[in-house]
Chain A
Amino acid sequence: MNHDLSVQMKKGLLDLCALALLAKKEQYGYELTEKLVKSTASSPGTIYPILRKMKEAGLLTTKLSEDSGGPPRKYYYITNTGRTALQEATRDWIKLSNTVNKMLEE
């Protein structure tokens, strides 16, 4: 498969994956980035800008936590708008993947 196409496809799904992970539980920035890097083979340099964009769009919010004793850690939380967006994106993804799967089987 064309490498660019694969990268673009994964990049397009990063928002959805980030929202899905955060819907389960709040995540420390590095931890979230590493999970997304592993599951989508993206670069941390791709993920941080996406998280920032999602925060500006009001889908996520961040909070600094001083629990670790070290420097404050940035935790990401999903907002209500984020949850609604996740529900819509999940519906769209299921629909799209079904359509694509059918096309591929033909």
Chain B
Amino acid sequence: MNKQPRSSEQYLRQLAAALQEGKIDDIDDIVADYKDYFAQSKTKGYSDEESIQRLPKVQELAASYIRDDKDFHALKSAKYPSGPSRAQRLTIFGASLAGDMILLPIFGLAALLLACFTVVGVFLVVTGPLLFIPDSMLGQVDVARPPLLQILPTALLLISGGALVIGICTAIAERMYSTIRASIVVRRWLLTGEHDNHLKLVPQISKRLRTLLYRISLFAALSTVSLIVIVMILSLITAGTINFPSTWKQ
């Protein structure tokens, strides 16, 4: 007798067991969909029993997945009779290792350069505000301190320039990470024949933080360019290269 479970936990457990019997590959992914369904339904005010009522019986639901899976594999094997053999995969893997000998040092060097540039970026960002430290806090200083109006554009240039460098380094590092991740996924498939498109090498920073970083670097890029233009115009004016028309002065 197939009685409907009374709680979402029971439903999920029974579903996972039924799918396991049917030898479905991505059981966790399927169960996660229904876990999310129960969680969201709960936030909308539905009880577990009401949510379960909207679903088919566990065995029926599992059977639909098992049937789909069989159909899909039958269709796939009819369309693609067989993938590359293990020997072929291992040959490609060997060839790719030879490629790695050339690419790895280049990637290593690029990573080292990125790390150096990031340090420079951080240094620039930190140096900007340091320019405002009053003489009294620095002790005996031999160099005459320039006026604040001269320090301000320099400090802003340092900060925005540094932020820009960090932003560019982050973007390049992310691209490098994706490339390395993709190559590891492919190599793993070549070696074992298994796919794992969700491989995470390092804990990923949230999308919101990444967007914020890109926005900061974009803002930094724009302010760096505008500051350079302003500083150039100001220095040309003070050097007397640009003369305002006499009518302007009146």
Q: Which of B33-41, B187-195, B229-237 forms part of the interface with chain A?
A: B33-41
Cβ of B30 and Cβ of A48 under 8 Å apart?
A: yes
Cβ of B56 and Cβ of A45 under 8 Å apart?
A: yes
Cβ of B207 and Cβ of A66 under 8 Å apart?
A: yes
A43 on the interface (CB 8 Å rule)? yes
Interface band, chain B? 20 to 34
B177 on the interface (CB 8 Å rule)? no
| Cross-interface CB contact of B36 among A65, A67, A74, cutoff 8 Å | A74
| Cross-interface CB contact of B68 among A37, A53, A64, cutoff 8 Å | A53
Do most interface residues of chain B lie in helix, strand or loop, or is the interface mixed? Answer: helix
A12 on the interface (CB 8 Å rule)? no
The digit string for B53-81, where 1 denotes a CB below 8 A from any CB of A, is 01110001100110010001000000000
Task: List B contacts of A56 (CB < 8 A).
Answer: 72
What CA separation (Å) do A65 and B211 show in the bound complex? 13
Interface band, chain A? 20 to 34
Cβ of B208 and Cβ of A45 under 8 Å apart?
A: no
| Cross-interface CB contact of B206 among A30, A49, A67, A74, cutoff 8 Å | A67
**What distance in Å separates the Cβ of A31 from its nearest Cβ neighbour in chain B?**
8
Of A49, A56, A64, chain B has the most CB atoms within 10 Å of the CB of A49
What CA separation (Å) do A13 and B56 show in the bound complex? 19
Given known contacts A30-B37, A74-B32, A49 and B207 CB-to-CB distance under 8 angstroms = no
| Cross-interface CB contact of B64 among A33, A49, A73, cutoff 8 Å | A49
Residues of B within 8 A of A (CB): 29-30, 32-34, 36-37, 39-40, 54-56, 60-61, 64-65, 68, 72, 198, 206-208
Q: Can you name 16 extra interface pairs (CB under 8 A) apart from A45-B61, A52-B30?
A: A29-B33, A29-B36, A30-B37, A43-B56, A44-B37, A44-B54, A49-B61, A49-B64, A49-B65, A49-B68, A52-B29, A52-B68, A53-B72, A56-B72, A65-B207, A73-B36
